Amino acid sequence: MNPEDLRYADSHEWVRIDADVGTIGITDHAQKQLGEIVYLELPEVGHMYDAGDEFGTVESVKAVSELFTPISGEVVEVNKGAIGEPGIINDDPFGDGWLIKLKVSTDVEIGKLMSADAYAEYVREEEQEK
């Protein structure tokens, strides 16, 4: 379900680290909760963020969610394809539906994020509360 090689934040973003670049997106659970996505607001390349900062918003017809970066870094790439066709986030949230890539400034934060199993458990607990 949730890819093993990714790490997860409790605000339902995932991050994949390749060398010093972190790719960030939202999880399959998140896209299901939102429903069909109609609009995406992402930052410009060059923006700097600390872990936990808001970097954009994602909107469906009935909801809007802020996007929070799980790690600190500088934006080096933005998924323009997703901005033009936001539905790709629903179709492929862990792949082509990626949102931004950051040049990672520190390794420390990745350890604070959840593994795929821990995230799955976290989602189960959240659902129970409903």
Give the DSSP H/E element, type plus range, for residue 84. Answer: helix 80-84
Q: Which of 33, 12, 36, 14 is nearest to 90 (CA)?
A: 36
Q: Binding segment for other proteins among 7-15, 24-32, 55-63, 67-75 (CB under 8 A)? A: 55-63
- Is 61 one of the binding residues for other proteins (CB under 8 A)? yes
28 or 109, CB closer to other proteins? 28
Cβ proximity to other proteins: between 111 and 128 the closer is 128
Site mask for other proteins (CB under 8 A), range 91-120, x = bound: ------------------------------
